[in-house]
Structure 1
Amino acid sequence: MQVPKVVEIKRIEEESPTVKTFIFDWKVDSEKPGQFMMVWNFEDEKPMSISLIDNIKNEIGISIRNVGEFTKQIHKLQIGDKLGLRGPYGRGFDISGIKVLAVGGGIGMAPIVAYSEKASKSGIEVHIVSAASTMDELLFSERIKRSGAKLLTCTDDGTHGYCGYGTDLAEKALSEEDYDMVVSCGPEIMMKKLFKMVEKYRIPSQFSLERYMKCGLGLCGQCCVDDQGWRVCVEGPVFWQDELRMITEFGKYKRDSSGQKHKI
């Protein structure tokens, strides 16, 4: 039976004014960048991407943006406080290729930084487009630099790096460099534009989707996507581009807890 494991918060990293990373002792086994954990605050449970996988220190980290009541409560926790974790769940990123472009937007940088660290250790040359609304919200820049990856930053307001959207900077990179893989996580409107680019350039690509999840195990069917019925928590959250071609809702709409469609 899948039940949460209650663990103490070992460290807390302040990533930005709105994002904190909570680090726990955890026996790292098959965890992969792109997978997620179900996080339980003893009242409610939500899926959160794994942003740190350290199989030397046996630690994992979960990066959480303060956007609602659940995350607001977690942001108040201190070192030594406890949370419940179960997982890891879902399909993560495939670590392959020689030269990879990784594109992350906002909190979507959480699995991207974990990917960067693991891929770089495997000898893959990684270039990362990190997009945020403003300089203070750019995430994991120092970790990315330490991993050896090349960091390309952009902000909507031009306070750091390229002034514009992550897709603009990605288009520039794709036109100037030869990549044999693209990976991405972020707002779906961003990934839809990126998807059209990789189709044009004919580059194999992986995209991490976000959908409303209840169980994380594929039992409730809450996160099924049209028209294939794939469960994002099991068949995803990472999908290859040839799979995304068959997901008719991609870049168009997603459903809330009641099943109601909401335009993206």
Structure 2
Amino acid sequence: MLNVPKVLKIKDIIKETPTIKTFFFDWDMDDEIPYPGQFIMLWNFNDEKPMSISSIDLDNKEIGVTIKKVGPFTEEVFNLKVGDYLGLRGPYGNPFTIPKDKKILVIGGGVGMAPVTCFTDYAVKDNDVDVVCAAVNKDELLFEDRLKKSGANVYNATDDGSSGYKGFATNRALDLIKESHYDFAVVCGPEVMMKPTYDILEDNNIPGEYSLERYMKCAIGICGQCCVDNTGWRICKEGPVFSNDDLKLITEFGNYRRAPTGERI
């Protein structure tokens, strides 16, 4: 595992939506193979932030990191061009489980589509996969075409109804669950979306895995910034992927999170 940032040249940049870009880098798979659900720490030579790995190309030894512009750090990264450099360290965290011969429901919202799309790339090889791809509007839908090309069945949901189902990912997922039997689910998005999705999956006895996000600094389990109540689990080490049973023990899930100061939000 790479615990010191490795300075890498940006190989390619794809503008996915008006607010989201994917950055591609050559990656030595002999050094450390990343898996869907893991993350890297991205260093812009001033600060570091955790970012989901959205693409893993083992044949071409390349990874993609998908970033949403939400603040000064990401805005600075957005201004970079192909040939510029960034520091990457990792990969970190526990990945998603890749089942076999299962009917799988994947539910993603916004930039949360990044890790679940990477999961889908792997899962479609041995499973039947339905994907709820959700965003505020059609312009912000992430990886719709890529998911369709992978062989997954894609069901869009937009807040304004500009593409697919008008409403939230949770409502679209519930409709699909009423129509079909699912053996397993994978979820990532805003926690305000994941909590009701978790409740729906629990009510329908569907085991699932969820990718959580918290404020991280070290990514190696030392600083304690990403610990959750009441377990004390570190999102960077014990997570970021947790099961239904795990989430039953995390009392803050869907209720609050902590600021860098430790204050509840």
Instruction: Please classify the TM superposition score into its range, dividing by the shorter chain length.
Output: over 0.9
Task: State the one-letter code of the partner of 2:238.
Answer: E
Structure 1 segment 1-264 matched on structure 2, within 5 A: 2-28=3-29, 29-97=32-100, 98-121=102-125, 123-262=126-265
SS in structure 2 opposite 1:2?
strand
Displacement after TM superposition at 1:139 (Å): 0.4
SS in structure 1 opposite 2:201?
helix
Q: Deviations over 1:3-44 (max 9, x none)?
A: 100000001011000000000000234311110000000000
Displacement after TM superposition at 1:113 (Å): 0.8
| Whole-Å separation in 1 of the counterparts to 2:138 and 2:146 | 16
Displacement after TM superposition at 1:92 (Å): 1.1
SS in structure 2 opposite 1:154?
strand
| Whole-Å separation in 2 of the counterparts to 1:88 and 1:99 | 28
Task: State the one-letter code of the partner of 1:118.
Answer: Y
Task: State the one-letter code of the partner of 2:111.
Answer: I
Displacement after TM superposition at 1:209 (Å): 0.4
| Whole-Å separation in 1 of the counterparts to 2:26 and 2:86 | 12
Displacement after TM superposition at 1:169 (Å): 0.1
| Whole-Å separation in 1 of the counterparts to 2:3 and 2:82 | 26
Displacement after TM superposition at 1:120 (Å): 1.1
| Whole-Å separation in 1 of the counterparts to 2:80 and 2:262 | 32
| Whole-Å separation in 2 of the counterparts to 1:125 and 1:77 | 38
Q: Which ranges of structure 1 fall in alignment gaps of 5 or more residues?
A: none
| Whole-Å separation in 1 of the counterparts to 2:203 and 2:256 | 23
Count of matched residue positions in the alignment of Structure 1 and Structure 2? 261
Task: State the one-letter code of the partner of 2:163.
Answer: H
Q: Deviations over 1:137-158 (max 9, x none)?
A: 0000111011100000010001
| Whole-Å separation in 2 of the counterparts to 1:109 and 1:27 | 25
SS in structure 1 opposite 2:108?
strand
Q: Deviations over 1:209-232 (max 9, x none)?
A: 000000000000000000000000
Q: Which ranges of structure 2 fall in alignment gaps of 5 or more residues?
A: none
SS in structure 2 opposite 1:193?
helix
- Return structure 1 stretches of 4+ with deviation > 2 angstroms: none
Task: State the one-letter code of the partner of 1:39.
Answer: L
What's the Cα RMSD here? 0.8
Task: State the one-letter code of the partner of 1:24.
Answer: F
SS in structure 2 opposite 1:151?
strand
Task: Give aligned-pair identity as a percent.
Answer: 53
Task: State the one-letter code of the partner of 2:23.
Answer: F
